[in-house]
Structure 1
Amino acid sequence: MDLSEKQGLNGVLTIELRDTNGALVEQRRVNNLITTAGKQFLAHLLMGKADALPRRWTIAVGTGLEPANIADAALKTFVDEAEDPAPKVEVVTNGDTSIVRATVTATLPLPKLSASDRPQALTEAGIQITQGNDKAKPILFNRVRFDQVNRGANMVMKLTWEISF
């Protein structure tokens, strides 16, 4: 009987653009990179470091063009962010195996653009975790660089990040 188990940590971002009536305009799924800071954050939680408890989870978007790198500490060109006040954790069992999936979902409001402004050409996103007080610098848990998504003045952007262990 083989009792070994392969553990991994991976994430997938789902991007949905909807018009003001709620109709889906575009949807994409992209894999992401967990940063070194994100892995350190998880290790601190595992070891019971009280100061590691997250206070705020946000998904940030930007216009940076550089590929994701494990050393990334922030988005390359930050544009906007939205908070998930209640991230979720669930266990998914399939026969003798199971995964734990954490989900962070945030909906960016309509951008502050006029109808005549060019759309925001978004190309990157990441989960930011804030610990401690409001002055604490957020930890960039993960980052993804994706093909350009144009967020116009009448577009609501919903971002769902699934992190599986």
Structure 2
Amino acid sequence: MDLSEKPGMNGVLTIELLDTSGALVEQRRVNNLITTAGKQLLANLLLGKVNALPTRWAIAVGTGVEAANIADTALKTRVDEAVDPSPKVEVITRDGASVVRATVSATLPVPALAANDKPQALSEAGIQITQGNGTAPILFNRVQFAQVNRGANMVMKMTWEITF
């Protein structure tokens, strides 16, 4: 009987650009990096060493082009965010093994751009977790990706799946 575990955690961000009628214009999937702050938050939650449980889950986006680094504590150039009011956790079976999957999903509405403004050239994203009122958000993970142009007629849906 094999009692060994294959520890690990990984995340994948799915980005969907939709036009205002809801039609899919572009879809991308990119792997991401769990930050040291994100791993520390999980360890502290596991051991009950937190002052407050997470109360707010948001996906932030920005225009930074620097590669993701485990030491990142914020996006390089944050421009917008959307909150997921009900992130979910589920146990799924994958390749005959049970896997826990946490999903954070948020939709950025059409940006407030003037008719002659250039689209937002987004190139980074991350999950920001807030624990209680008045606390700074923790950047759980971060990804830098090839530029996505979010125009005045585009809705951006992002779904982050983190599997354990």
Give the TM-score, by structure 2 length.
0.97
Comparing 1-10 with 46-55, greater Cα deviation is found at 46-55
How far is the alpha carbon of 1:14 from its aligned partner?
0.2
Alpha carbons 1:41, 1:52 under 8 Å: kept: no
Q: What residue ranges of structure 1 are gaps of 5+ in the alignment?
A: none
CA RMSD of aligned residues (A): 1.1
How far is the alpha carbon of 1:5 from its aligned partner?
1.2
- Which amino acid counterpart does residue 17 of structure 1 have in structure 2? L
Alpha carbons 1:59, 1:83 under 8 Å: kept: yes
> What corresponds to 2:99 in structure 1?
99
How far is the alpha carbon of 1:115 from its aligned partner?
2.3
Cα deviations by residue, 1:122-149 (Å, 9 ceiling, x for unpaired): 000000000111x211000000000000
1:17 and 2:6 equivalent? no
What is the rounded CA distance, in whole Å, between the counterparts of 1:97 and 1:106 in structure 2? Answer: 28
1:34 and 2:34 equivalent? yes
Alpha carbons 1:10, 1:164 under 8 Å: kept: yes
- Which amino acid counterpart does residue 28 of structure 2 have in structure 1? R
Give the SS at the match of 2:51: helix
> What corresponds to 1:3 in structure 2?
3
- Which amino acid counterpart does residue 153 of structure 1 have in structure 2? A
Cα deviations by residue, 1:2-56 (Å, 9 ceiling, x for unpaired): 2111011000000000000000010000000000000000001101234241010
How far is the alpha carbon of 1:94 from its aligned partner?
4.0
> What corresponds to 2:79 in structure 1?
79
Cα deviations by residue, 1:72-119 (Å, 9 ceiling, x for unpaired): 000000000000000010101246511000000000011010222100
Runs (4 or more) in structure 1 with deviation over 4 Å come to none
> What corresponds to 2:154 in structure 1?
155
Q: How many residues align?
A: 164
Q: What residue ranges of structure 2 are gaps of 5+ in the alignment?
A: none
Alpha carbons 1:89, 1:101 under 8 Å: kept: yes
CA distance 1:154–1:95, change in 2 (3 Å): closer
